[in-house]
């Protein structure tokens, strides 16, 4: 098992980012027991509460992980399920890994609910609040566009219950099963929703969250799910970077997300870098068919954003690399095993069939 822990500290709180991957070639149950025991040990030693969590794995592995997690976490399971995300078997086997964002300090997160279902957490630090939602879904909706619309509306409803709205959202993750068959429809639905809410449109200063939209579906079988991060407070303005680094606005080719966003979080300043691929300034795929070159360009594009924000590799606290297939994943680990970013890899379709790789990153700077 490998666990990478990064911390950012202030006088009020400590944010803890955990990236955990399994020990290959041992029994699956032993793998997941080690994973969640290791995470619990960190939570105990830091006296920390989970803010957000994702588990990537194959269907049978996620089913086992679900029961093991509850047993191992004990009181650290507050009822909010992590995002259980379906990915094919990869270099680490049936469980690709676990990512956790946790918080240590005097504040205890309040549980948020969608209906009666615990779905997120809200924590008050100083004069602001930090909010996370975990894999909001709308499985009863029949059409993919309806699922997307209802998913966004459900997330908005929980935000309103917490006294805020979509204007406070800094980061989203869109988990999209079979992404290549309906990504255009997803974009049209999200664009319409954002336009209605005043986040984009003629004469509007764009307030699009940083985002990842990737071909990974929820364990539940829903066509889509959404995680998000929001920050609420009178002086906690979110900075949205529609175009950043070496890439122009994604909205120009129909996808409503910012390349990055920056906001004050409980222990410092956090830079959320969206899912980033080998895309030119005019929005075209580059290096078609060349996985290594696409990986190199994607990482270079992320580094360009980091540099623009006065951050470097050592400021990255979490990253996820999405690989089209096992061959691309092997190339990534072969050529970039020394990458300083704490990351895990997941096999997934990217939003275009000719894209072989995408990577996202979160970086932090202490107050």
Q: What is the pLDDT of residue 236?
A: 63
pLDDT of residue 126: 84
What is the model's pLDDT at position 140? 81
Kindly give the interhelix angle for 59-73 and 28-46, rounded to the nearest 10 degrees: 40
pLDDT of residue 245: 86
Residue range 2-366 in CATH 3.30.1330.40? yes
Residues present in the chain in total = 367
**Can you tell me the distance from the alpha carbon of 82 to that of 119, in angstroms, rounded to the nearest whole number?**
9
E strand map for the chain: 2-9, 13-21, 48-57, 83-86, 95-105, 110-114, 117-125, 128-136, 169-176, 210-214, 217-218, 224-232, 239-241, 260-265, 268-276, 316-323, 343-347, 357-366
* CA dihedral for 105, 110, 112, 116, sign (positive or negative): positive
Residue 366 has a pLDDT of 84
- What's residue 222's pLDDT? 94
Residues in the chain with pLDDT < 70?
A: 235-236
Asked if 164 and 132 count as a contact pair (C-beta separation under 8 A), the reply is no
Q: How far apart are CA 118 and CA 258, in angstroms?
A: 28
Closest by Cα among 95, 48, 92, 97 to 73 = 48
User: Per residue in 183-215, pLDDT tens?
Assistant: 999 999 999 999 999 999 999 999 999 999 999
Q: Exposed, middle or buried: residue 330 (CB in 10 Å: 0-12, 13-18, 19+)?
A: middle
What pLDDT is attached to residue 235?
64
284/262 Cα distance (integer angstroms): 26
The pLDDT score that the predictor gives to residue 265 is 93
Long-range pairs for 69-77: beta carbons < 8 A, 24 or more residues apart:
69/32, 69/36, 72/33, 72/36, 72/37, 72/40, 73/36, 73/39, 73/40, 74/40, 76/40, 76/43, 76/44, 76/49, 76/50
Distance CA 188, CA 237 (A): 27
Look up residue 223 and give its two tokens.
Answer: 């066509």
Q: Are 172 and 199 in contact (CB under 8 A)?
A: no
> Which residues partner with 130 through β-bridges?
123, 231
Task: Locate 362 and state its tokens.
Answer: 């979160």
């Amino acid at each position: 098992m490998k666990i990478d822990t990064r911390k950012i500290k202030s006088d009020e709180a400590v944010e803890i980012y955990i990236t955990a991957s399994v020990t290959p070639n041992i029994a699956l149950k032993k793998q997941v027991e080690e994973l969640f025991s290791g995470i619990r040990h960190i939570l105990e030693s830091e006296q920390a509460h989970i803010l957000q969590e994702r588990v990537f794995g194959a269907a049978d592995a996620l089913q086992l992980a679900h029961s093991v997690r509850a047993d191992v976490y004990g009181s650290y399971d507050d009822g909010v399920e992590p995002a259980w995300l379906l990915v094919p078997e990869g270099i680490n086997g049936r469980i690709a890994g676990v990512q956790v964002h946790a918080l240590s300090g005097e504040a205890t997160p309040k549980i948020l609910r969608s209906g009666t279902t615990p779905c997120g957490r809200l924590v008050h630090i100083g004069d602001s609040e930090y909010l996370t939602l975990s894999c909001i879904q709308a499985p009863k909706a029949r059409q993919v566009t309806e699922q997307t619309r209802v998913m966004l509306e459900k997330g908005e409803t929980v935000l309103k219950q917490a006294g805020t709205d979509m204007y406070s959202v800094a980061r989203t993750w869109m988990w999209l099963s079979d992404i290549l068959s309906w990504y255009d429809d997803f974009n049209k639905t999200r664009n319409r929703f954002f336009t209605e809410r005043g986040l984009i449109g003629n004469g509007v200063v764009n307030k699009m969250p940083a985002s990842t939209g990737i071909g990974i579906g929820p364990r539940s079988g829903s066509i889509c799910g959404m995680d998000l991060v929001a920050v609420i407070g009178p002086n906690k303005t979110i900075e949205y970077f529609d175009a950043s680094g070496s890439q122009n606005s994604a909205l120009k080719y129909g996808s409503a997300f910012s390349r990055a966003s920056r906001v004050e979080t409980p222990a410092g300043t956090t830079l959320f870098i969206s899912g980033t691929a080998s895309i030119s300034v005019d929005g075209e795929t580059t290096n078609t068919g060349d996985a290594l070159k696409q990986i190199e360009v994607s990482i270079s594009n992320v580094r360009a954003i980091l540099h623009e924000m006065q951050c470097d590799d050592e400021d990255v606290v979490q990253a996820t690399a999405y690989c089209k297939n096992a061959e691309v994943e092997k190339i990534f680990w072969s050529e970039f095993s020394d990458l300083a970013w704490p990351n895990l890899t997941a096999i997934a379709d990217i939003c275009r069939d000719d894209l072989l790789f995408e990577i996202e990153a979160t970086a932090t700077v202490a107050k």
